[in-house]
Structure 1
Amino acid sequence: MNKLGLLSSLIISSSILAGCGSEPDSSAPDIIINIENPDPGTGGGDGGDGGSDLPTITNTALPILEDFSAADTQTFFTSGYRALASDAEDGENGFYYSMAGVFMEDGTVDMDGGNWITADNDQKMRLGDSRFTIGQTVSPLAGDVADPRKDSTPGDGIDEGLSWGELDLTQDYRISFCVVAVPDTASSSDFQIYVDNNTTSEASSIHGGGNVGSRIFNQPVNNLVPGQRVEINIPGDTTLQAGGELVGSKPDLVGTENSFFSFRVSSGGWAVFDDLVIEYQSESNGDSQPDCSTKDSIYKLVNPITGGDDNNAPVEPNEGTPFTGLPLTLDFSADAETFFGENDEADFLSISSNREDPFYKVTSGSSRITIENNQLSLNNARFTIGDTGVATADGVTPSGNMDLSRPYRIKMMIEDFTSADPADPGKFQVYIDNNTTSSGNSIHGGDSKFSEITPDDVTSLPYELVLEPDLGTTTSFLQVRADSRVGNLSFSEFTIEYLDADGEGWTPYTLNLAGSSDIAPAGEVTENTDTAVTLSATGGNMSSSNHNLYFAGKMVEMSDFMFTAQISNITGADVGAGNAYRFGIMIMENMDPVADYADLAGWADAGFYVDGDPAELIGSRAQMKPSGSRSRSNISELEVGDYVRIEIYDDGDGKRLKRYYSKNGVDFEQANSTSDFKATPESDSWYVGLYAAPGENNITIEFDNILVEEIAP
Structure 2
Amino acid sequence: MNTKLKLLSSLIIASSVLAGCGSEPDSSAPDIIIDIDVPDSGGGDGGGDGGGDDLPEITNTDLPIIEDFGASDTQGFFTADYKALASDAEDGEDNFYFSMAGVFMEDGSVDTEGSNWITADPDQKMRLGDARFTLAQTVSPLAGDVEVPRKDTTPGEGIDEGLSWGELDLTRDYKISFCVVARPDTASSSDFQIYVDNNTTGEANSIHGGGNVGSRIFNVPVNTLVPGERVEINIPGNTTLQEGGELVGSKPELIGTENSFIAMRVSSGGWTVFDDLVIEYQDDVGNNPQPDCSTKDSNYKLVNPATGGDDNNAPEPEIEGIPFGGLPFTVDLSSDADTLFGENDEAEFLSISTDRADPFYKVTSGSSRITVENGALSLNNARFTIGDKGTPSAEGVEPSGDMDFSVPYRIRMTVTDFTSADPADPGKFQVYIDNNTTSSGNSIHGGDSKFSELTPDEITLPYELELEPEFGTANSFIQIRADSRVGNLTLENITFEYLDGAPGSDAEWTPSTLNMAGESDIAPSGELTENEAFSATLTATGGNMSSSNHNLFFAHQMVEMSDFMFTAQITNVEGADVAAGNAYRFGIMIMENLDPVADFADLPGWADAGFYVDGDPAELIGSRAQMKPSGSRSRSNIDELEVGDYVRIEIYDDGDDKRVKRYYSKDGIDFIQANSTSDFAATPDSDTWYVGLYAAPGENNVTVEFDNISIEEIVE
Q: Under TM normalisation by the shorter chain, which class is it? A: 0.3 to 0.5
> TM-score if structure 1 supplies the norm length?
0.43
Instruction: Choose between structure 1 and 2 for higher RCO, CA contacts under 8 A separated by at least 6 residues.
Output: 2
Structure with higher Rg: it is: 1
> TM-score if structure 2 supplies the norm length?
0.43
